[in-house]
């Protein structure tokens, strides 16, 4: 694929551009303690990430407690995101290079919008993006392709000229269903073996490889 063929690059946020796992783990265990539930090991929490915060909490609490525990998680997470989130290595330089090429950039995240915007503002990357869309504004979450289709429609770019960059199996599935070339960075919670089974366009080890691949 030549860079001249690409008019839009859509990025997932967590695990792709941003390492927010420390913030998620801290807020998750805070909420568990607040709700009277046992804390969980980081690996267990990390494996549950990617489906939105409600789906992160729900498997670990009784249904009647979900609203209360989720509220505790969200209260804590507003601050933990600012303290414990970092851009992944190479993220800013990749965004800057694509922006210089006049390629449209967007975010497609299963995070609630308010938390995605906290991350983007805190990490000073808002200026790179033409559009940010999160699944709480839609009927379906990834791996459903709705979020990618909406971004392409908003930015007037078709699948043939769009690349989606994510880090999880659900990103690879969403990209395939939206008929866009999908590049998976193995910096998230999905294993390379699990990602390979979905057969994305490419799997890379870090964002530093993205520019060469495009």
Domain ranges in the chain? Answer: 3-19+86-213, 21-84
Residue 50 pLDDT: 87
**Residues 6 or more apart in contact with residue 135 via CB below 8 angstroms:** 52, 109, 110, 111, 141, 142, 147
**pLDDT for 119-133, tens place per residue?**
999 999 999 999 999
Q: How far is residue 157's CA from residue 162's CA, in Å, rounded to a whole number?
A: 7
Domain 3-19+86-213 matches domain 21-84 at the CATH topology level: no
pTM as predicted: 0.92
Rounded average pLDDT over 66-74: 97
Q: How far is residue 125's CA from residue 119's CA, in Å, rounded to a whole number?
A: 9
Residue 181 pLDDT: 95
CATH superfamily of 3-19+86-213: HAD superfamily/HAD-like (3.40.50.1000)
Residue 214 pLDDT: 79
Q: Output phi, psi for 172, to 5 deg.
A: -60, -40
The contacts found for 111-115 with CB under 8 angstroms, 24 or more apart, are: 111/13, 111/14, 111/52, 111/53, 111/135, 112/52, 112/53, 112/74, 112/136, 113/137, 115/53, 115/74, 115/77, 115/78, 115/81
Mean pLDDT of the chain: 94
Tell me: pLDDT of 15 over 90: yes
Query: What is each CA distance from 29 to 41, 43, 58, 184, 212, in whole angstroms?
Result: 9, 12, 13, 28, 39
Residue 188 pLDDT: 85
Tokens (6 digits) for 185: 């960075």
Residue 4 pLDDT: 60
Question: How do beta strands 131-134 and 18-19 pair?
Answer: unpaired
CATH number assigned to the domain with residue range 21-84, chosen from the 4 options 1.10.150, 3.40.50, 1.10.3470, 3.30.1380: 1.10.150
Query: Percentage of the chain surpassing pLDDT 70?
Result: 98
Residue 211 pLDDT: 81
Tell me: pLDDT of 1 over 80: no
Rounded average pLDDT over 103-115: 96
Tell me: pLDDT of 3 over 70: no
Which among 128, 133, 132, 131 has a CA at the least distance from the CA of 101?
A: 128
Tell me: pLDDT of 2 over 60: no
Rounded average pLDDT over 5-19: 95
């Amino acid at each position: 694929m030549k860079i001249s063929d690409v008019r839009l690059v859509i990025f997932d946020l967590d695990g792709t551009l941003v390492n927010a796992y420390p913030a998620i783990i801290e807020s998750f265990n805070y909420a568990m303690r607040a709700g009277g539930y046992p804390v969980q090991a980081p690996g267990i929490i990390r494996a549950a990430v990617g489906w939105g915060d409600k789906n992160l909490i729900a498997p670990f609490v009784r249904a009647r407690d979900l609203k209360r525990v989720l509220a505790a998680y969200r209260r804590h997470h507003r601050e933990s995101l600012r303290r414990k989130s970092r851009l992944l290595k190479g993220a800013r330089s990749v965004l800057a290079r694509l922006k210089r090429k006049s390629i449209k950039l967007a975010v497609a995240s299963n995070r609630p919008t308010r938390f995605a915007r906290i991350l983007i503002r805190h990490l000073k990357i808002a200026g790179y993006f033409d559009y940010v869309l999160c699944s709480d504004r839609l009927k379906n979450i990834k791996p459903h392709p709705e979020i990618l289709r909406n971004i392409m429609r908003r930015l007037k770019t078709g699948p043939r000229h769009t690349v989606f960059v994510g880090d999880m199996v659900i990103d690879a599935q969403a990209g395939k269903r939206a008929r866009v070339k999908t590049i998976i960075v193995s910096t998230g919670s999905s294993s390379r073996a699990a990602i390979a089974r979905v057969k994305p366009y490419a799997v890379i080890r870090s964002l530093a490889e993205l520019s060469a691949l495009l």
